Amino acid sequence: MDYTINWILIAEIVYAIILGLVCLRIIYDTRSTTKTLAYLLFAIFVPIAGMIFYFFFGINYRHRKMYSKKLYENDDIANKFRQDLLQYSAQTLQENGEAVLSNKELAFMVLNDSMSPLTAKNSLKLLINGEQKFPELLAAIKSAKHHIHIEYYIYEDDEIGNAIADALIEKAKAGVTVRFIYDDFGSRDIRKKLVPRLKENGVLAYPFLKVHFILFANRLNYRNHRKIIVIDGFTAFVGGINISDRYINGVKDKQLYWRDTHLRIDGPGAQYLQYLFICDWNFCSEDVLQPDVYFFPKPRAQKNSEANKVVQIAASGPDSESPTILFSILQAINLATKEILITSPYFIPGESLLDALTIASLSGISVKLLVPGVSDSILVNSAARSYYKDLLKAGVEIYQYQKGFVHAKTMVTDQKIAMIGTANMDFRSFDLNFEVNAIVYDTEIACQLTKVFYEDIKEARKIDPIAWDARPMYKQLLEKAARLLSPLL
């Protein structure tokens, strides 16, 4: 009798069992049906590597929230705070203009989903490109009296990065508390020199989700893509512009024109950004900050006579119960009656957003989409292009920016609602990254951003639906193949 052990057969059985368990884990743990199918196919048809990829990149942290955003330990205080927010938001809704009232469903959806209040009496300023943002930011930093909170995905050790670091150090030496959160992957270039220099001069600095070799891929998947600055709980900056020389056009030896948008907020609208920063700080630092009057000051009278803008902050990530930013975009599209203008550097919409835009366009609403003509990711750009045919067929106008790289993440509906923030219109921003958008309920700001959009499309090429459909079959096939990977990009 032959007792030779068939190790190959045993290995195949063990592998089949492991694969079965991984597939069950994918089915149970993955929220999106599309992503579930993508991970299943990858695990089954790419032996071993497919399973490793899932465990590195596919774990759903929304089912096991990465950290709690609860600032109040006492539930009675928390409930009282919740009631105050509801009352304040309802009052803001009633006391302000038609832009707010006609989009009240959006305001209450964000409020109920994330307890982000609808705030009034804000002064707002659109900042176009780094040329406008950085001088404004440096002046605001120099005016700080109590604290500066800064949180960035990309912070580079270059000219503007060092100029801002010098300003932060100067304020720290003057007694202002400076807290700095940097994404450990996006800002990896500042770990060795700039961060130690900040710390040596009194700045409190911590990485968000520090990348260790063993956990590298998994932590790489969940990045803090936010760009937040809050000064004295009253002045805040949010938008798409990171701290890097590349965002400043016209500097020496700079080749690619970089088109981006940011927003300055002075007023109560800064306070939810402050809340987000403190939650992120408590997660990644050794401190536990508590709400106090310095972080959340009472509204004060402003010299600016136009300080009457209504702002709400939408934020989401692996720490949130639901994809608040995606929901806010879908609701804004649903409420639009005339026009929807979208600018996004990475456009991989998924079924829900694709359907919403298609329905809007087929309903007679003018839908215009501005995307890069030149992208910094060939694979992402190919996946994005695979969605254009369906949108063009529905009547959506798509423009490819030609002057340089468009990195702005904005949306305007009916010249009443303006969204400016950090979230791209893709799976990663809606489901994986920590993101934040400002929603402005104001016709003046919405009209300003509308004007910016129409100036931008003067530098863009409009896609001809007939010519697009007639492109070589191999190009369309490659784009559809890239689309299969879109839930994983």
Three-class HEC string of 237-271: EEECCCECHHHCCCCCCCCCCEECEEEEEECCCHH
Per DSSP bridges, beta strands 435-441 and 417-421 are antiparallel
- Which listed residue (157, 183, 184, 232) is catalytic? 232
Is 146 considered catalytic here?
A: no
Contact predicate 354/362, CB 8 Å? no
- Which listed residue (35, 149, 227, 309) is catalytic? 227
- Which listed residue (69, 149, 171, 225) is catalytic? 225
Question: Residue 338 burial by CB count (10 A; 0-12/13-18/19+): exposed, middle or buried?
Answer: exposed
Buried (b) or exposed (e) across 342-363, using 16+ Cβ within 10 A?
bbbbbbbbbeebbebbbebbee
- Which listed residue (113, 266, 414, 426) is catalytic? 414
| Residue 455, amino acid | E
Question: Residue 4 burial by CB count (10 A; 0-12/13-18/19+): exposed, middle or buried?
Answer: exposed
Is 409 considered catalytic here?
A: yes
- Which listed residue (407, 416, 426, 456) is catalytic? 407
Contact predicate 418/337, CB 8 Å? no
Contact predicate 149/277, CB 8 Å? yes
- Would you tell me how many other CB atoms lie within 10 Å of the CB of residue 67? 13
Is 414 considered catalytic here?
A: yes
Which residues have a Cβ under 8 Å from the Cβ of 94 and sit 6 or more positions away? none
What whole-number distance in Å separates Cα of residue 264 and Cα of residue 126?
A: 7
Is 2 considered catalytic here?
A: no
Is 212 considered catalytic here?
A: no
Q: Which residues are catalytic?
A: 225, 227, 232, 407, 409, 414
